[in-house]
């Protein structure tokens, strides 16, 4: 994929220049990642479409899931959560952002219309830039955050990606803040330390609520429902054995009416069903006790279920259903990394 010089390269240089100007030329620690994992140039194959689900390549299944998406796959693509896989969910699942290396300093960002597979726009951005949007009622306008080390410099940029220019600079909330876009174009931010929830319709943040973080826990990843009315949030903590444990909670987007969906530990990566009536999550015991043994599988439950426990890999459960798919000749394959749920 080749990009001409001009607006694309100028925008990337402008964003990085603005970031450095605001930070005195400095950056953050290279030892840490951004709050939700900055976009990195992917070295693995892209997610594979299989029936109802988009499955990202499991580490132990390298050969099984290897292969590119073909043109027919676009009809089943759904919302992608951003992360180190180099994909981003945009516009409540209606758009998909794909990052590829353009140079040693820039990534080539391409945004697709999920329904038609048509390219919406292309633009170069600095490495380790995450995107959310479209925002503020403009289909060409997105929020971009560029990370240098673990820091975004406390700022984010409202950018007209089609024109290739920066429209505004706003406060991001820094390392502890994760920002997404709601279906109506407002920005939505959660502070992972305090649980404070803020929204912005014009670049000015207003607090609208707060998550009730369980004692001893921290906010992990979270995911907005397709209709933008609820969030599934992962709270994580460390056990006495120093193993990371986590469970999934559900709350309104203002943090109200929070309830515990799972109550077993080792649950994460929530994914909403297309009609928001169900939630999927992985059950990953590979880190149990700080070791490297165990299994990782995906399960689904009604979104109004509470305190789901007693899940055991390959065993029937009264409430939860283990996800199994037929993939590339392998029947009843049990995925670990479900990226999206389409139908």
Residue that finishes a domain, picked among 132, 160, 177? 177
CA distance 269 to 251: 16
Residue 47 inside a domain? The answer is: no
Q: How confident is the chain (343 residues) per 10-residue block, as mean pLDDT?
A: 51 79 44 30 50 59 38 32 45 70 80 72 86 91 87 91 91 90 92 95 95 92 90 85 81 97 92 91 72 75 97 92 77 77 66
DSSP state at residue 262:
B
Same domain, 93 and 121: yes
Count the domains in the chain. 2
Same domain, 100 and 59: no
Same domain, 228 and 116: no
Residue 128 inside a domain? The answer is: yes
Same domain, 105 and 227: no
Same domain, 5 and 114: yes
Same domain, 65 and 88: no
Please name the residue that has the structure tokens 């194959």: 45
- Which burial class, exposed, middle or buried, applies to 65 when counting CB atoms under 10 A from its CB (0-12, 13-18, 19+)? buried
Same domain, 274 and 310: yes
Residue 49 inside a domain? The answer is: no
Same domain, 115 and 59: no
241: closest CA among 199, 202, 288, 289? 289
Same domain, 34 and 171: yes
pLDDT of 49: 62
Same domain, 6 and 64: no
Q: Quote the domain boundaries for residue 152.
A: 1-39+82-177
Residue 46 inside a domain? The answer is: no
């Amino acid at each position: 994929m080749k990009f001409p010089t001009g607006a694309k390269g100028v925008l990337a240089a402008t964003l990085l220049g603005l970031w450095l100007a605001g930070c005195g030329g400095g950056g953050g620690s290279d030892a840490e990642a951004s709050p939700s994992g900055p976009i990195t140039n992917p070295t693995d194959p892209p997610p594979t479409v299989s029936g109802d689900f988009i499955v990202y390549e499991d580490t132990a299944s390298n050969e099984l899931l290897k292969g590119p998406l073909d043109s027919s796959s676009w009809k089943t693509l759904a919302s992608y959560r951003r992360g180190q896989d180099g994909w981003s969910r945009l516009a409540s699942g209606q758009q998909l952002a794909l990052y590829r290396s353009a140079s040693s300093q820039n990534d080539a960002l391409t945004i697709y219309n999920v329904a038609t597979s048509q390219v919406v726009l292309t633009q170069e951005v600095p490495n380790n830039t995450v995107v959310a949007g479209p925002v503020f009622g403009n289909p060409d306008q997105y929020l971009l955050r560029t990370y240098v080390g673990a820091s975004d410099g406390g700022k984010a940029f409202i950018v007209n990606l089609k024109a290739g220019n920066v429209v505004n600079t706003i406060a991001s909330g820094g390392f502890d803040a994760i920002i997404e876009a709601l279906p109506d174009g407002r920005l939505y931010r959660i502070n992972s330390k305090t649980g404070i929830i803020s929204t912005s319709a014009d670049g000015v943040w207003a607090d609208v609520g707060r998550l009730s973080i369980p004692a001893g826990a921290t906010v992990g990843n979270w995911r907005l429902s397709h209709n933008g009315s609820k969030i599934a949030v992962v709270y994580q903590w460390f056990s006495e054995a120093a193993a990371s444990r986590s469970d999934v909670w559900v709350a309104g987007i203002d943090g109200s009416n929070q309830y515990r969906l799972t109550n077993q530990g080792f649950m994460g990566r929530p994914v909403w069903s297309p009609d928001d009536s169900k939630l999927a999550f992985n059950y990953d015991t590979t880190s149990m006790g700080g070791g490297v043994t165990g299994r990782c599988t995906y399960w689904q439950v009604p979104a109004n279920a509470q305190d789901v426990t007693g899940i055991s890999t390959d065993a029937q459960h009264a409430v939860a259903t283990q996800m199994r798919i037929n993939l590339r000749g392998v029947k009843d394959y049990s995925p670990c990394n479900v990226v999206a749920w389409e139908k």
